[in-house]
Structure 1
Amino acid sequence: METRVAVISLIVTQPEAVEELNAILHTYSSYIIGRMGLPYRQKNVNIICVAVDAPQNIISAMSGKLGLLAGVNTKTVYSNVIAKE
């Protein structure tokens, strides 16, 4: 199975979305390389960056579910690195 390295960037504007966001990330935790969260208190938003190594369909599913959350904006960037598992 081929996997890709990608980064999912999220901006969270509604704190009540964080619990469901964390539940989704936990579901895909075996694919997550690392995660960094930055609270930007002056603007009342949280900025989260999630690095993943997963098959294309898994990355798309995770990004799609995160993007459907109210108060969460996402953008996914894919690397050109494709590897066989």
Structure 2
Amino acid sequence: MDKRLGIIGIFIQDRNESAPAVNKILGENSDIVVGRMGIPFREKEVNCISLIIEATTDELGAMTGKLGMLNGVKVKSLLA
């Protein structure tokens, strides 16, 4: 399967509860992450992470599936 470029948006509502698990999953999948930017949006009490990835659809689905199962975490992805 060919690797494709993509974007993943992650929104974390409870940083103290979910951020360690999110970082663990991202670390386990660091081989597909090209770039990462995190922004704390304090006014809305949400933390945003955007990722640029190079992955197969299977790799993308495995990672976003794990992230999406975490409490207080919303994930959206797009492959080019």
Point out where structure 1 has 5 or more consecutive residues left out of the alignment. Answer: 80-85
The answer on 1:12 being equivalent to 2:19 is no
Counterpart for residue 32 of structure 2:
31
Describe how 1:1-85 pairs up with structure 2 within 5 A: 1-15=1-15, 16-79=17-80
The root-mean-square deviation of aligned C-alpha atoms, in Å, is: 0.8
2-structure distance, mates of 1:22, 1:71: 14
Letter in 2 for 1:17: S
Name whichever structure is richer in helix by fraction.
2
Percentage identity across paired residues of the two chains:
37
The count of residues paired between Structure 1 and Structure 2 equals 79
CA deviation string 1:55-76 (max 9, x = no partner): 1100111011111110000100
TM-score (norm 2): 0.94
CA distance in 1, matches of 2:21, 2:5: 24
Structure with greater strand percent: 1
